[in-house]
């Protein structure tokens, strides 16, 4: 997850994408917090795919 953190620190577009996703998902009601975390998975995978190995 350090690559993910570093990517968000250095890439404004990915940082905004992640923040926007979190805001959108946070506005919903979740029966279990894990469902919220699972809903973020696609955007996290997308950002990780752009990280330097």
Instruction: State pLDDT tens for residues 3-22.
Output: 999 999 999 999 999 999 99
Let me know the angle formed at the C-alpha of 37 by 28 and 18, rounded to the nearest 5 degrees: 80
Neighbouring residues of 13: CB distance < 8 A, sequence distance ≥ 6: none
| pTM attached to this predicted model | 0.87
- What are the tens digits of pLDDT across the range 18-44? 999 999 999 999 999 999 999 999 999
- Please give the structure tokens belonging to residue 42: 């696609």
Instruction: Round to whole Å and give the CA distance between 36 and 27.
Output: 10
The CA-atom distances, in angstroms, between 15 and each of 10, 27, 30, 31, 32 are 8, 18, 23, 27, 25
Give the pLDDT confidence score for residue 21 in this predicted structure.
97
pLDDT on residue 53: 74
């Amino acid at each position: 997850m350090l690559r993910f953190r570093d990517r968000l620190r250095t890439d404004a577009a990915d940082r905004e994408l992640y923040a926007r996703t979190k805001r959108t998902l946070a506005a919903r009601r979740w029966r279990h917090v894990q469902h919220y975390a699972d809903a973020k998975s696609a955007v996290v995978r997308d950002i990780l795919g752009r990280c330097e190995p």
